[in-house]
Amino acid sequence: MDPAEIRLGEVIGILGANALGKTTFLKILSGLESATSGNVDVSAKVAYKPQYLSAESETDVISYFRSINKNVDTGLIQSQLILPLKLNKLFEKSLKTLSGGELQKVAIVATLLQDAMIYAFDEPSAFIDVEDRIVLAKSIQRFVRSMGKTALVIDHDIQLVDIVSDSLMIFSGVPGKSGRAGKPMGKADGMNAFLGELGITYRRDITTGRPRVNKPESKLDRMQKEQKKYYYLGKAPEASSLEEIKA
């Protein structure tokens, strides 16, 4: 990995092909795995949400949250996490009865409720429908900024990564053999670097602001490739303006 800095109040999206070490990177930072070479010294506490989830506990959701953070009923947590994600409707349900999407939301909030400086999320969009992913991305970003913490987010959903991230870290290399994490960079540069390797171009839907894949060899696809602007046409919307984009 290239030497880099991450800032408080920042969300870094992580993109790259499969089997380049993205998940391993988060696990090493979280202390769940050891590096095969070199030293990784992370002094800040990291809360990690794994890619694959399961729950067999009879504990209900609100009791689970309170066991992690006794302040779960406070206004900030309620207004930025619980209510937007409609988790109050799940409070009386036991963890083992939750659907895949419900369990994902609970696991994400449980991670954010931990006393940590860095939150590491592996595929937070899994099992969550498109509309809820937008709400989820905004909730994570708002909470991280409000608390002055840092988050790292791996996801294959380009839209979620676009909304939640302040900057991007791109993994490159040979899948299954070697991977390298680049320095965090601006979203436009990061998306261009990532999509340029894939040879795919995206545009923003004028009405919704959502990313849309251009038809290969279409006029817009060819034009963006000529300009080496694989994701953004013109200036990318600022994170604050994304808050105003209607789902």
Round to whole Å and give the CA distance between 183 and 46.
19
Q: Is the pTM of this model over 0.75?
A: yes
Tell me: pLDDT of 241 over 70.
no
Is the CATH number of domain 10-185 3.40.50.300?
Answer: yes
Q: What is the pLDDT of residues 86-109, one digit of tens each?
A: 999 999 999 999 999 999 999 999
Percent of the chain scoring above 70 in pLDDT? 91
H/E stretch holding 180: strand 178-181
Q: For residue 19, what pLDDT band results from cuts at 50, 70 and 90?
A: very high
The CATH 3.40.50.300 domain(s) of the chain lie at 10-185
* Predicted pLDDT of residue 246: 31
3-state secondary structure of 48: strand
User: What is the structure's pLDDT at 86?
Assistant: 97
Residue 232 is predicted with a pLDDT of 66
Task: Give the total residue count for the chain.
Answer: 247
User: Mean of the pLDDT values across residues 164-185?
Assistant: 91
Looking at every residue in the chain, the average pLDDT score rounds to: 89
pLDDT band for position 131 (cuts 50, 70, 90): confident
What are the distances in angstroms from CA 217 to CA 188, 194, 199? 22, 19, 11
Q: 240 pLDDT exceeds 50?
A: no
Alpha helices in the chain (DSSP H): 22-29, 61-68, 75-77, 100-112, 130-147, 158-164, 187-198, 219-227, 239-242
Residue that wins the pLDDT comparison between 42 and 119: 119
